[in-house]
């Protein structure tokens, strides 16, 4: 197996926002998305430690951890932290993945089309964060799981 790149994005997850348009027809990415992607790019660069973007296949694991709402009682809090209850709330998990992949383009891999396998999950945690792991797969490793 090739090398693995891991990093943790602190704070609440941010989904890729839809492109917006001005009245004059100029398209732009929402500022919240731009800021989040810039932060993820910085973390990805640090995790790559100066290595060039991977050219081959990649497997991705993204675990999105939402903080437990302060308003829940102790029993429900414990249930959430034991994964008996999982977050079914925004942002949508596919939009979070899209923001992370877009930010990783040209840094971790040349293009996110290289990701051929994904494991994704939404959970509750004491502190909100998103764990990201990219496994760089070599041609001979395809039979591995």
Q: Is residue 116 part of a domain?
A: yes
How many C-beta atoms surround the C-beta of residue 5 within 10 A?
Answer: 22
pLDDT digits (tens, 9 = 90+) for 124-136: 999 999 999 999 9
Tell me the mean pLDDT in the region 1-26.
Answer: 88
pLDDT digits (tens, 9 = 90+) for 38-60: 999 999 999 999 999 999 999 99
Q: Is residue 145 part of a domain?
A: no
The reported pLDDT for the residue numbered 141 is: 56
**φ, ψ of residue 4 in degrees (nearest 5):** -120, 140
Query: Residue 116's closest CA among 94, 92, 138, 95?
Result: 138
Q: Is residue 72 part of a domain?
A: yes
Number of domains the chain is built from: 1
Question: Do 81 and 127 touch, CB atoms closer than 8 A?
Answer: no
Q: Is residue 70 part of a domain?
A: yes
Q: What angle in degrees, to the nearest 10, is found between the helix axes of 31-48 and 93-104?
A: 60
The reported pLDDT for the residue numbered 145 is: 42
**Given pLDDT bands bounded at 50, 70 and 90, which one contains residue 140?**
low
Q: Is residue 101 part of a domain?
A: yes
Domain span at residue 101 reads 4-140
CATH code assigned at 34: 3.30.1330.70
């Amino acid at each position: 197996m090739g090398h693995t790149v891991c990093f943790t994005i602190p704070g609440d997850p941010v989904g890729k926002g839809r492109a917006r348009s001005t009245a004059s027809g100029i398209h732009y990415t929402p500022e919240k998305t731009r800021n989040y992607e810039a932060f993820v790019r910085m973390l990805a660069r640090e995790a790559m430690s100066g290595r060039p973007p991977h050219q081959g296949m990649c497997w991705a694991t993204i675990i999105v951890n939402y903080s437990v709402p302060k308003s829940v009682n102790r029993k429900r809090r414990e249930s959430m932290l034991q994964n008996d209850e999982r977050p079914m709330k925004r942002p949508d998990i596919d939009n979070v993945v899209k923001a992370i992949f877009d930010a990783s383009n040209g840094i971790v891999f040349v293009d996110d089309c290289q990701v051929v396998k994904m494991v994704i999950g939404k959970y509750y945690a004491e502190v909100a964060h998103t764990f990201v792991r990219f496994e760089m797969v070599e041609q001979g490793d395809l039979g591995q799981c």
